Structure 1
Amino acid sequence: MTIPMKPFHFLYYSVCCLILLSGMLYSCQSQNPDRVILEKLDRTFNASKFYGPKIKRSEELLHADVKSMDKKELKEVFETAIFKKDTLAIFNSEGSLPTLFYIESTAAWGTRKLKPVKDFGYRYTTVSYNEEKDTVAILSGVSFPALTVAEDKNGEFTYLYALKSSKNKDDFQNIYNYLQKTFTKLMLQDDAGSGIKGWENKDFYYFLHKKNRREEQIFSFGEDEDDKPTTTDITDIRLEIYSKIYIQNMQKEQVYLPDYIPIIK
């Protein structure tokens, strides 16, 4: 026998289901497997989990037999962003830096023959991408096509660099406005570097860089000789986010860090 549901109970049940579904959708959006929502970044971010499928796909494409591919497959190869994973280690600076040590990839040209002091972790980098089409991170509605993320050997997030070359003058300002509104502004040293802005919250330091340049437009073969090349204003944007725990540990171990990063006492 089916017991009829009272109107109030039915309404209560419907509202609960709607709330649960909304929560699930919100969670899925904040944990998008294809891109990092930087507004929701926290210390639990798992770089290896995020980059794992991307690294696997990149290795498949790099080892693929392009001679056996048709045009559609070749197009996919050339239009797919490529990522790589490096092992990071701590090396002795041997007096070349103001600190005793520095962190670098063990595969870098200057370190591949050196013996590291100790292993540190891993770095994931976007090495090939389409500036106009690819999005690997988002902040305040601005998409970043390139992202570098590092983690220590325990899988703890340490830092990231998000990069973008933008033709939209509003992109930098939108990012700046979000950081200025959301976090506490840092008073950086005068010699920290031209145009670098900094902020902090309880877990991270945020640094925003920009460089303005002009790019000459390239015309197709056969265009009128009277057509003169035009230039486009470009803003190169670099957003850096550092874990305060990472900064504190590196300062204790006398590992080199950029001059504009504050000393944690």
Structure 2
Amino acid sequence: MKFVIIGGTGLIGSKVVAGLRERGHEAVAAAPSTGVNTLTGEGLAEVMTGASVVVDLSNSPSFEDGPVLEFFQTSTRNLLAAEAAAGVGHHVALSVVGAEDLPDSGYLRAKVAQHRLIEDSSIPYTIVQATQFFEFVRGIADSATEGDTVRMAPVSFQPIAGEDVARAVGKAALGEPVNGRVEVGGPERFRMDEFFRDALAAWNDPREVVTDPHARYFGTELKERSLVPGDDAPLGEIRYRDWPGRVPAAE
């Protein structure tokens, strides 16, 4: 069975490719570096030949409102058109838990636009919505930094290891299309401000984490459950305290 993994050389994509190959499937890592460009359409027709499932893990190089919307709309339209022409039977896309409920974020508005294109296409689909990756924790802290302080809201936070995200995406790709969304989150739920206070302490980071109910998360204020999946969502296996990247590697 042939799987095409768009963004297959990236953080999640490379893990999905490896997992599918271990199961004996043909998994093609498609990215600009391998001659496949979803924005220009280069290489799409060729890579789709014989494909049963396409997994879209692409991401915009810019998070600015205009460029990120243009990326996801153009890329998704090109991808879906190529899939339809090739007779692909299942489109799997990775997205973000809570995207529909945070309209003040330009990035999440772009993801919602991507959802709509997928839902309106003729191709059976599964959208996997994951919580924030462990690998992005430092970037989230940096985005919330003002001087020597990091402003975080006292809301629920349930991050997940990239490895667990890859497993969830792989499971979706191997399964039947649900023609809907599947959420996945980390195995533990934290209070966001407390989580980052502990994380910075583990990094020996001198910045102070300040609890602020109005702290903005990539441009939007958060509600208590904005960043956590539903209560019946499957959970990852790797706890943050056991994740190797939790503390800086020894030099």
TM range, normalised to the smaller chain?
under 0.3
Q: Give the structure with the larger strand fraction.
A: 1
If you compute each CA radius of gyration, which structure gives the higher value, 1 or 2? 1
TM (norm. structure 1) is 0.24
Q: Give the structure with the larger helix fraction.
A: 2
TM (norm. structure 2) is 0.24
